Amino acid sequence: MSKRDPRGRPSADRTSLYDEITGKILAELEAGRLPWVQPWGTTAAKAPLAMPTNAATGRGYSGVNVLILWGAVISHGFPSQGWLTFRQALSLGGNVRKGERGTTVVYADRFVPDDERRRARETGDEAQAIPFLKRFTVFNVAQCDGLPEDLVAAVPTPEPGLIEPTVDALIRASGIDFRIGGDRAYYAPGPDYVTVPPPQAFFEPINWHRTALHECAHASGAAHRLGRDLTGSFGSKKYAFEELVAEIASAFCCAALGIAPTVRHADYIGSWAEVLREDNRAIVRAASQASKAADWLLAFAPQTGEPGQAIATTPEAARQAA
């Protein structure tokens, strides 16, 4: 008899869902595209640069769901980053148009099997939880009729002049030991500091801020912050995984702050693809950790109404939307 998940489905369904997500991300990487760097501001993107949100609750989607929903927005040409379940559309007085196909997103959680609970009681050890994914379907607000106008209206993008001061204020408020100088950008885990070359070393000033956010994303993983594994040496799979986390985290931060994400380490694409091929859960874990890193950093952004602020963010901004 096959094992079953906490919802009563065969465990193979969990595996196939991980495989399905990983397969899509791998296909993008092998084509030289990165799902966390979309062509915002081009004819391919009708929606504004922003993080996807649940239009009914206002909560931001997180983790791998951001990559899934960004991909759907681009591939289908949706003009909005707002999403709803079928029932949420009805509850708001609208409806999903007949014939529209939804986008599958996932909810990640953990459960402790009964056998493991018994083993833990008998041995005195801590029970080990098993991760699982649950799929559900959402629809872009552009696929719905009859919704309140304020849900369909495009969210204005931050004024360009406010973006860079916001990033500067965020870095200062984070408490990260941030140093400017030298000719390369990096985070030093042991002494716990970030170094970024001076802004004049960059072709465009905004690239300095993109780079700063990437390195600060690494710093968020320190033991006294989020406690990620930063022990990987250059060229190792641990190193590649942490670079993947920082790449995605900085892209999430950029999108939330109104900065079009770009690729900092395109030469790592091969090593990222290798990590994903060996572990079908790696992209889900990396994107989840990236959301936590972005959430941690964005919590230090000054709130709307204060000098230099482009957006309002809270520690809940990147949590999973239901």
DSSP secondary structure letters along 268-282: GHHHHHHHHHH-TTH
Report residue 263 as tokens.
């690729």
Calculate the CA 203 to chain-centre distance: 27
Distance CA 185, CA 206 (A): 15
* Per-residue pLDDT at 147: 94
Report residue 133 as tokens.
């994914």
Distance CA 277, CA 235 (A): 17
Question: What DSSP string describes 184-203?
Answer: S-EEETTTTEEEE--GGGSS
Report residue 24 as tokens.
């899509």
Would you give the end-to-end CA distance of the chain in angstroms?
A: 32
Edge to edge, the sheet with strand 186-188 lists 178-180, 193-196, 186-188
Over the chain (322 residues), what is each successive 10-residue block's mean pLDDT? 42 71 93 89 81 94 96 94 96 96 89 84 84 89 93 66 85 97 95 96 91 97 97 93 97 94 83 94 95 97 51 33 32
Q: Which of 32, 35, 24 is nearest to 67 (CA)?
A: 35
* Per-residue pLDDT at 157: 63
* Per-residue pLDDT at 160: 61
Pairing of strands 53-54, 82-84: parallel
Distance CA 257, CA 170 (A): 11
Report residue 52 as tokens.
């996807």
In sequence order, the 6+-apart residues with CB closer than 8 A to the CB of 134 are 7, 106, 107, 109
3-state secondary structure of 56: coil
Residue 179: phi and psi, rounded to 5, are -115, 140
Q: What is the pTM of this model?
A: 0.84
Residue with tokens 């985070």: 187
* Nearest-5° Cα angle at 290, 288 to 294: 120
3-state secondary structure of 317: coil
Hey, where are the domains in the chain? 11-152, 160-298
